[in-house]
Chains A and B, each alone.
Chain A
Amino acid sequence: MAIFKKKQRVSGEIPTSSMADIAFLLLIFFLVTTVFDEEKGLSIVLPEPQSEIEVSQKNVLHLVVRPDGLVDVKRGESPSIQTAAPSDVETIWRTEYAQNQNLIAAVRTHPDAAYRNMIAVLDQLHKAGADKISLQILE
């Protein structure tokens, strides 16, 4: 017996030392690829079709959004028009609302005005806590 034969030992276990690494790799992959798409924005409820309500002119605050982004403010029946920046709409609404609790904001936007100009006005109205808002197009 001069030759020693190497005895080969076969391991009966599945190697589990790298399992955690694999799991973490997958975990990090899913963590990175997950995107939470948030539903956010300015909410509004449109009027039902064919439901026009007659409103007294004195309860309406007309806000006309011009193509250049400025806002023409007309208070109810008074013929005078005040031109204001969208950022002033909040204060205008607050002072008018203090005098008349039934006030409705009628936002009329020029067809060529950019969408963001209307959003700027709507944002200010939301900020001022206005809940009766009407969105129309300027004809």
Chain B
Amino acid sequence: MNRLRLLLAATAALTALLLQATLVAPLSQPLAISLPAVLVACVAMVDGAGTGLAFGFVVGLLSDLGSAHPAGVLALAWMCVGLFCGTIATQHSLWRDAVAAGFACGAATLAATLLLVVVGSGGATAFGAVVDSVPAAIGDAGLALALVPITRAFLRSERLRAPHPVFTDLAVSATYD
């Protein structure tokens, strides 16, 4: 079961990175809408902060190494997305989770850009990042609206369920039982 979860996580991460570079980024220019970040948020919403933390770090590092800016920036940002979304997930409302995911991703992109401004790397500008952050967050929320049901369906299936019950699962069963 664990091997299957790892395989699926790797596939999902790679798919998100490829779709981001070939479809989402070109079509959403110049906004910084990020499909991998939204994926991290959605996974964390279902599987909790621990999974979100690790998944966000790995996906972020892969994305970092594949681009021109210093490695570690997106790893740090998306790790925080996983951590944050894992702790605030409700599991009840699709809309609330999607909006929370969108704004967490928007804030993470803003933070990553500001970090790049601080270390003086690449073409980051603080003003542009702040101006673009709200529309980018709305775009992220739109992606999350589509991704949250998919990740829920996958991660709650019998074969992909987390090996140990995560905290949010307990909260849900306590409410429904």
Partners in one complex: no
Residues of A within 8 A of B (CB): none
